Structure 1
Amino acid sequence: MTDPILYSLQNCPYAIRARLGLFHARQPFKLRAVVLKNIPTEMLAASAKATVPVLVLGDADNGRLDGVKVIDESLDIMFWALKNNDPQNLLYSNSPKAVEDIQGVIARNDHEFIANLENYKYSKRYHDFAQLYYRDQCEQFVADLEQRLSKHDFFVGDRPSVADYAILPFIRQFARVDRKWYLQAPYPNLRRWLDWQLQQPMFTKVMAKYPPWLNQGEEFLLGT
């Protein structure tokens, strides 16, 4: 069976999320690192959205996409991989209540926190007066995560779930917007959680840098 092809950008939080899902599922895949200023025509043929991540399932190397399945949303990639293989039970498949909680916290991250985070990053860059406002908006979600982590080591329990990895790339960004403020902010549990995540060997593998695929035509087999 042909290994899936993942078009990915190293520091895009959505691409990081997709890679985290594939690595935790131990799903082999061929990484094609891209540069958004020079998007491969093969990626555009697979997904017109023109942004990463894009996962291509099937034999796309023959120049045709007949019978090829494309997954171009990061959460869908995570859940596709983990539904095929979930050695850590990140989906909490034996706990319907936990599944509902996982879905809820990811939904709040995706539909509320990310938009506020983008505005927070933008206002910080331009020293906009709105910076404090958007940080306050972000903190409404961050405070909820802090409360969760005061009860458990992870967002929905005492072991990681897919929610931890789906949200990780965005909390990583949040912590970097104003590092000085973040380090003294009243979120010690979140800092502990993030530090632990970033120190994991798995995260180091996920964040490894590879040369752009278009430069050398070289794919990298990962996830094994």
Structure 2
Amino acid sequence: MMPILYSYRRCPYAMRARMALHYAGIVVEHREISLREKPQSMLKVSPKGTVPVLCLHDRIIDQSIDIIHWALQQNDPYDWMQADPMFARGWMEKNDGPFKKILDQYKYPNRFPELDQREVLHQARVVMLDPLEAVLQNHSYIMGSKTTWVDIAIFPFIRQFSMVNIEQFSALPLPATQAWLTEQLESKLFQAVMVKYPTWTDSIK
């Protein structure tokens, strides 16, 4: 049975899962969902209703980091898993925790009218962007001299942040981060997983 992946093209969580699966050479049945009309088949196997959801013959994996790790356990040709677990955990807690909250505040200012957007940008720099820049000033990638799963897991969120206000992001003193982001954006891997699929519905056979 071919694995089924419920995904949404622009979702950063789904994006990083797709990148890991493609890198590992795992072929899936891609089901592109509509966020407004989520298919019942997805909600049945994962009631939380968020993507990505990977359906295997023996289990359901509905957390993107778990999908990444599962994919790399199947095949990891360039040793993406060779990342210090303690440092990797620290970056993921920072990215998926406080930075994701700040990203939402930055991307959807109308939802947070009480917040000063200059302060939101400042917090983004303090929490994530400046620490990332400091690391990338000394190394080509987050964990050192080579790409690891941590780069792939964080990249979609930095991409999303940069796209909120491209001119503002480009003007920030983050040359190493911007170069790292550009490399990821121009990679064959990223281009491969951003192919557009028609919306899948349960009526499709």
CA offset digits 1:115-165 (Å, max 9, x no partner) = 111111112788875211111111111100000001110001111011100
Q: 2:140 aligns with which of 137, 153, 165?
A: 153
- The TM-score with structure 1 as length reference comes to 0.86
Correspondence for 2:101: 115
Moved over 3 A (4+): 124-129
Aligned-partner SS, 1:32:
strand
Correspondence for 1:17: 16
CA contact (8 A) 1:8 1:33 kept: yes
**Matched residue type, 1:79:** H
Q: Return the alpha-carbon distance in structure 1 between the equivalents of residues 181 and 132 of structure 2.
A: 11
Q: Return the alpha-carbon distance in structure 2 between the equivalents of residues 162 and 126 of structure 1.
A: 32
Q: 1:137 aligns with which of 105, 123, 131?
A: 123
Correspondence for 1:88: 78
Correspondence for 2:86: 100
**Matched residue type, 1:10:** R
CA offset digits 1:166-197 (Å, max 9, x no partner) = 00110001101121111111000001000010
Q: Return the alpha-carbon distance in structure 1 between the equivalents of residues 28 and 202 of structure 2.
A: 19
Shift of 1:75: 0.8
Q: 1:195 aligns with which of 170, 179, 182?
A: 182
Q: Return the alpha-carbon distance in structure 2 between the equivalents of residues 215 and 181 of structure 1.
A: 42
**Matched residue type, 1:142:** L
Aligned-partner SS, 1:118:
helix
| Structure 1 residue runs without a partner (length 5+) | 59-67, 219-224
| Structure 2 residue runs without a partner (length 5+) | none
Correspondence for 2:155: 168
- % identical equivalent positions: 38
Q: Return the alpha-carbon distance in structure 1 between the equivalents of residues 110 and 170 of structure 2.
A: 16
Aligned-partner SS, 2:29:
strand
- The TM-score with structure 2 as length reference comes to 0.93
Shift of 1:28: 1.6
